[in-house]
Structure 1
Amino acid sequence: MGRWRGATVDGGRAGGRVLDDADVAAALAVCAVDPVASILATTRLEAAAQLGIGAAGGQLWGYEPEGRLEAVCWAGANLVPVVPNRDPAALDAFAALGRAQGRRASSVVGEAGAVLGLWDRLSAYWPRAREVRADQPSFVIDRDPDVEPDPQVRRTVAEDYDVILPACVRMFVEEVGYSPVSGAGGPYESRVRMLIAEGRSFARFEQAHGVGPRSAGVVFKAELGAVAGGVAQVQGVWVTPAHRGEGLSKAGMAAVVVAARRDVAPVVSLYANHYNDRALAAYRAVGFEQVGTYATVLF
């Protein structure tokens, strides 16, 4: 991918540029400054390190005053800025690239200061956002949980797909407001299959009567939606409405933490909406501690 230098920002300062495969290692070093805040970008960059940026499904933007890469932004299905020093000039540079290319992403997501600063610079040029979630506490745990893990929570297997998919869709609709399904082989369906195949999907099932261990329905579920930089980020936490208020999310999350730290990464993270008091209380009870704030702009 070429090194495009067409963007400039107010005051004549150099803008960002589209990076190429030779820049991926330096970009990963930028993300390593705060692995929890940058995990969504790091996930794509680790794929780019193996496959190339194009095969990883997006572009990589960089800001490098005086020849040193100081901030990056992954531009794919999601726009994910990583600006460790919160330099406004980096946000100016990424906004210039975003204005030049137009909106292609379905969201802007990541550390709140970078996301909201970038959106402030883009909002007059891109279509109106459907929703701005400006306060999403970011949590981590790097030790054993404070509650007993649910022994009935397990990794899902391929045979669970037909039961897991409807639960994933229900969670997505509750969280985002529309269905992600597009038919067999669609991107959402493929991602659910991938998470199962990679051992990153967990669930507790109700059991069908009279048919042995066959799964009848999902009671609790969660996925390790992003794994990179020594961090596993939990996404898609959901308890079926009929069983909410029974403490299943606490014990279920404890089980996910134990399995993730044992088999995947030493640090487990997640982020949630600030108004979801029940979920935040459950995460804190498990032992998660807030370390920052995310934000998400949805289109």
Structure 2
Amino acid sequence: MSDMTPVRADDLPAVLDYLRGQTACAMFPLANLETHGLATQSGHSRAMSAWVRYEDGEVVAFLGMTRDGWMLPVLAAGDPLLDAVTAPLSMRSYEWILGEAGAVHSVLDALDLRHHPMGLLRDEPHFLLPLSDLVMPEVAGLLLVPADATRRDLLIDWRSQYNADVHGTSPSVAAERAVVDVDAMLETGSHVLLMQGDTPLAMTGINARAGNTVQVGGVFTPPARRGEGHARAAVALHLAALRDATGAEEAVLFAASDTAAAAYRAIGFSRIGTYTMCRLARPT
């Protein structure tokens, strides 16, 4: 027996159990729900509205949306839940669709978005690393420092380049978003800089945490310093510090390029699947 329903507070324990059963593919909705809850409970931008499909009393499919327009499906390709939520989703505003490749491409088909102008549609290799298997690269003379307000201008410049490179946004939009992104980083203390003396070499951060799993994101090396191993050093040092200080046990990430993928494999990450990032183009 199958039942499709909007998620209410009473559903949250079953929904969280479902998402925790596939944490690596569900980091963003899981972290959002654990931290900010449902949109009916919180006004936070990452609080979520969500729909689920039950089968024999258990959640078997999930689709959530944050207040700020991130759609996050965790379901099998072609799941019947998509047919049930087409109408309510068509009345909502969203910009991003993120998730396992089969889920995202099924959403695009169900919502008839294949011909919608895209700012970004990219399938990326999805990686997992048990932190007990972390391989440390050469890090002599390197250290991590918090990405704090004393370096706000640098962080905004780097994040603007990151948004243009990774998210495919125009320079003006990339710069606009960078200010918001950096202010969020500073508020949460999520990112760090790799330093050699007084010289910043690279940046990395944690975009989400659920239980003992962390989602690596925002990894950036300025163009003049690329090819020198700084990104892998930054990520490895940060993950080692989180493992030792907070008990983190595994890390997940997705790679925007073959170069990035090679760097992550070098410190122990293994591919577990494909993750799709879709950003619908803004109206002009």
Q: With the length of structure 2 as denominator, give the TM-score of the two structures.
A: 0.83
2:121 to 119, 132, 151: 132
The answer to whether the 8 A contact 2:120-2:167 is kept is no
Q: Which amino acid aligns with 2:167?
A: V
- For residue 242 of structure 1, what is the aligned residue in structure 2? 224
1:78 aligns with 2:61: no
1:147 aligns with 2:128: no
Instruction: Give matches, 1:45-124, under 5 Å.
Output: 45-49=33-37, 53-57=41-45, 58-76=48-66, 77-83=69-75, 86=77, 88-99=79-90, 101-102=91-92, 104-124=93-113
| Structure 2 gap ranges (5+) | none
CA distance in 2, matches of 1:155, 1:51: 31
CA distance in 1, matches of 2:21, 2:213: 13
Return the offset for 1:277: 1.3
Return the offset for 1:156: 2.3
Deviations, residues 92-115 of structure 1 (Å, cap 9, x unaligned): 23334323x24x111110111111
Q: Which amino acid aligns with 1:268?
A: A
- For residue 297 of structure 1, what is the aligned residue in structure 2? 278
1:164 aligns with 2:155: yes
Q: Which amino acid aligns with 2:275?
A: Y
SS where residue 32 of structure 2 aligns?
Answer: helix
2:7 to 8, 19, 32: 19
The answer to whether the 8 A contact 1:44-1:56 is kept is no
CA distance in 2, matches of 1:136, 1:89: 25
Q: With the length of structure 1 as denominator, give the TM-score of the two structures.
A: 0.79
- TM-aligned CA distance change 1:33 to 1:193, over 3 Å: same
Number of aligned residue pairs: 269
1:28 aligns with 2:13: no
Return the offset for 1:256: 1.8
Q: Which amino acid aligns with 1:68?
A: E
The answer to whether the 8 A contact 1:222-1:238 is kept is yes
Deviations, residues 157-210 of structure 1 (Å, cap 9, x unaligned): 33222322211111111112323444xxxx753542343343321112466xxx
CA distance in 1, matches of 2:186, 2:151: 9
- For residue 210 of structure 1, what is the aligned residue in structure 2? none
- TM-aligned CA distance change 1:255 to 1:37, over 3 Å: same
1:231 aligns with 2:223: no
The answer to whether the 8 A contact 2:7-2:50 is kept is yes
- TM-aligned CA distance change 1:262 to 1:200, over 3 Å: farther
Instruction: Give matches, 1:135-284, under 5 Å.
Output: 135-142=123-130, 143-148=132-137, 150=139, 151-178=142-169, 179-182=173-176, 189-205=179-195, 218-264=200-246, 265-273=248-256, 276-284=257-265
SS where residue 80 of structure 2 aligns?
Answer: helix
Higher strand share: 2
Q: Which amino acid aligns with 1:131?
A: L
The answer to whether the 8 A contact 2:119-2:168 is kept is no
| Structure 1 gap ranges (5+) | 1-12, 208-212
- TM-aligned CA distance change 1:125 to 1:174, over 3 Å: closer
Return the offset for 1:65: 4.0
Aligned Cα root-mean-square deviation (Å) = 2.7
**Higher radius of gyration, 1 or 2:** 1
Return the offset for 1:50: 8.9
SS where residue 225 of structure 1 aligns?
Answer: strand
